[in-house]
A and B are shown apart, each in its own frame.
Chain A
Amino acid sequence: MTTEFGIVYAGHIITSHFGSVVSKVCDCLLRRGPLSSREISRLAESDINHNKVKDILSLLIQHNCVQAFSVEPPDGSESKATVQYIALFNSILHRERYSKFSKVVKEELGPECVDVLDGLLSNGRLTLEQMIDRDRDRDSKGSEVIKDSLEKLVAARFVERVPSPEPVLGNKEEGPAKKRGGKASKIFKEPETLEERVLEAATPVDAIRFPFIFEQDSSSTLADEDSNISEGKRKQPEVDSSGPSNEVIWRPNFEELIRRLRHKACVEIVKERRDEGCANVLKAMLEVGRSQEKKAKPDKSVPVSMGSIYEELIKTEAGREMTQERVEACLEQLSATSSYLPAFVIESDDSYIVDFKSIISVAQKDEMESVVMRRYGKEAFRMFRYLSQEDRFVETDKIADAALTEKKDTPQILLKMWKDGYLHMQKLAVTGVYMPFLLWKVNKLIVSRQMLDEMYHASLNLSLRLTHEKGSEKELLLLPMEKLEGALKERRNKYRAKSVLLASTKFKLDDAIMLFHDF
């Protein structure tokens, strides 16, 4: 969801990493949608010459912040398709989370792989040759180590081949609007955005996207006849068989990195609301099903059998301590719906399916309610909770009854929430009655959007404050720390405490942003 402050925040990130001229191009694309390079040159704040725009676009594409595409001209038309560029809002925001991606990969694959990934995150796109070159300038671990790390990263799908540089979209005008749900929800359901369509068109099939994996896949049913071929291929890795000018160009696969963070978040949510045992069981289920998750944000996982859960569990120490009864009990608990918690797992024919949507929505609900509680008070919170549960339009008096508030105070509280975008309101005129009835509803999508905008704003403020603090102490920061004494040292320590707090707060806030936007 691109909101006003989302755009400002994204612009700030680009300015801080690449400078203000790059940010002008990016801002132009974010605000006006996809444009051709000539249009950007003309429309960007303070005209930028066409060649400079092309340079900047190359830079942004290198860092995966922009994707080019063209739209197929209508049938029978003689005109050539012009290349347009679209800013990838999600990818720009990911830049503030690279340290989290790094951490996840370090935990899973170790420091050498992290080094290669960090190179990709810093530079956007690299060939194996460039990675080896870069390594020579730094620690010089050797090309074998680099190649090995890259293979591991691709096998785990953390790294992928770069997408198609200029996919052609079919020229159907209307986005495929999903027709599920009632009439009200149809209006607010987000249709597949152009950004999503472009990215889908640009993404190659898995075989091309993750080349090594495909060659090493010996678990397929065609293993017998293919194994000889794949063995042969493995001896000649793709790098050697093709010259340097045909080397694969790699980039980080944000989809998989976000998926890991999503799984981690789900395990945390379950741990907080159930217990550690259930969290371990869920973790095992997610591990088993992960490689088969095709979509970026699936609502449900693939079905997982009891046996495979068990197999996965015994790999960890904590899992080994769980008896079969305990595991079964946990699964029962996870599948149960109570008045205050929905089911996190669905049981079907001896298999279990993780319901991501349910888990995430529980955490989102808690965040929303906590904001309402803190901002508008306990009574407003009760009303908000009641309305979210009802999930339909309710009139003022009924809300007052349910929330145990005074009938005369209720409209004011509701109006306050409505003014800030947390409630949806409808007026119902009834003949014979002077005052129209007011009907209220909580629309989760609108509230999410409102909250996201506020969170982007907050994150922006934190970044600005951090920059401001750093700027204020510019001279102090040039001095080596161990040579400071007395008052200067105090000031230095104070600065350090401030910057640690501001940065840590940003990370925590970013977790909440991901909860509403990426998970």
Chain B
Amino acid sequence: MAYRGGRGRGRGGFGGFGIEYAKAEPFVIFPDITLPDRKSISDDAQLLKNFTSFERFWKTSAYHLGDGVSKKESESLDIERFSDTLKPTKKKSNERGSFYDFLVLRPDNFPKELLGDTRRERPVKRARWTQAADLHKLEVLEKLEAKADAKEENEEGEGDDEVEESEGEDSENGDYDQTKDFDDDDDDYNEPEDNDNEEVY
């Protein structure tokens, strides 16, 4: 897909023999092309907003299985702090929960072959429809624990500021699509009204 330009780099290696079988071109991921007039594309704010929320939902939902092999690495781009070791380790693997929470496993919905699996725990535990509700609770718990455990540490001051700031922001934003814990999309299309820190898609 984006590897079209990569061919040039590959073949350039033969140049060492003295005869250039192919010209080694520098790899440009998106070469310049002539583009049409920008004004010919109209922006529909509503479509853009919906599109962003759908994309964000799927990428952060239990339906996203990733590469299905490794545990997800921490997505936080914050620098590691000593106070992190004092916080209770979040169990990342359970963060999203199983997508089976949302599936109605009945013979009128799925083929028998897929239902035969009795490993699934039933009855299904209450599905989490939004990430915000649970994460807020998780945050509150973490704060309390951090405060209780790390009273003597100096770095606690930093930790608290961080945590207070996040609490402040969260309490302003009640909508489900305004969690701050993910490297999420910002809702740019309501820029003047919103004051969240999310990324635009």
Contacts and interface: CB of A to CB of B under 8 A. Distances in A.
Interface of A: 8, 12, 16-22, 37, 48, 51-52, 54, 56-59, 61-63, 68, 83, 98-100, 102-103, 106, 118, 121-123, 125, 127, 130, 133-134, 137-138, 162, 164-166, 245, 249, 460, 464-466, 468, 470, 473-475, 477-483, 495-496, 499-501, 503-505, 507-508
B14 interface: no
B111 A125 contact: no
Interface string B96-127: 00011011101111111110010000000011
Contacts of A61: 110-111, 114
Q: Which of B29, B44, B68, B188 has the most CB of A within 10 A?
A: B68
Contacts of B195: 480, 482
A120 B107 CA distance: 20
Given A61-B110, A460-B1, A125 B104 contact: yes
Contacts of A20: 66-68
B43 interface: yes
Interface stretch (B16-24, B57-65, B139-147, B150-158): B57-65
Contacts of B64: 17-19
Given A54-B113, A504-B48, A59 B54 contact: no
21 contacts: A22-B65, A37-B113, A61-B111, A61-B114, A98-B50, A99-B46, A99-B51, A103-B50, A118-B54, A121-B54, A122-B57, A123-B102, A138-B176, A166-B112, A249-B108, A473-B199, A477-B186, A477-B199, A499-B188, A499-B200, A499-B201
Contacts of B83: none
A207 B3 CA distance: 51
Contacts of A464: 1-2
Contacts of B99: 59, 62
A120 B192 CA distance: 30
A470 B50 CA distance: 18
Given A21-B69, A466-B201, A475-B77, 4 more contacts: A17-B64, A21-B65, A137-B176, A496-B188
Q: Is the interface of B mostly helix, strand, loop or mixed?
A: loop
A20 B72 CA distance: 13
Contacts, number: 181
A57 B133 contact: no
Contacts of A470: 199, 201
Contact of A100 (B47, B117, B185): B47
Q: Which of A12, A57, A98, A138 has the most CB of B within 10 A?
A: A138
A20 B107 CA distance: 28
Q: Is the interface of A mostly helix, strand, loop or mixed?
A: helix
Given A464-B2, A477-B186, A503-B201, A51 B117 contact: yes
B186 A481 contact: yes
A54 B113 CA distance: 8
Given A22-B65, A130-B102, A83 B113 contact: yes
Contacts of A102: 50
Contacts of A8: 1
Nearest to B47: A99
B41 interface: yes
A138 B127 contact: no
A468 B64 CA distance: 20
B33 to A, nearest CB: 10
Nearest to A52: B68
Nearest to A137: B129
B63 A63 contact: yes
B109 A507 contact: no
A245 B106 contact: yes
A474 B185 CA distance: 10
A479 to B, nearest CB: 7
A59 B65 CA distance: 10
A182 to B, nearest CB: 39
Contacts of B32: none
The 10 closest A-B pairs by CB, nearest first: A21-B68, A480-B197, A477-B199, A99-B50, A134-B129, A68-B111, A17-B58, A137-B129, A166-B111, A19-B65
Interface in B155-201: 169, 176, 183, 185-186, 188, 191, 195-197, 199-201
B71 interface: no
Nearest to B180: A480
Contacts of B1: 8, 12, 460, 464
Contacts of B200: 477, 495-496, 499-500
Contact of B127 (A57, A133, A479): A133
A16 B59 contact: yes
Contacts of B110: 58, 61, 68, 165
B59 A17 contact: yes
Given A18-B64, A127-B104, A54 B117 contact: yes
A501 B38 CA distance: 8
Given A59-B99, A102-B50, A165 B65 contact: no
Nearest to B45: A500
Nearest to B68: A21
Q: Which of A63, A123, A125 has the most CB of B within 10 A?
A: A123
A58 B176 contact: no
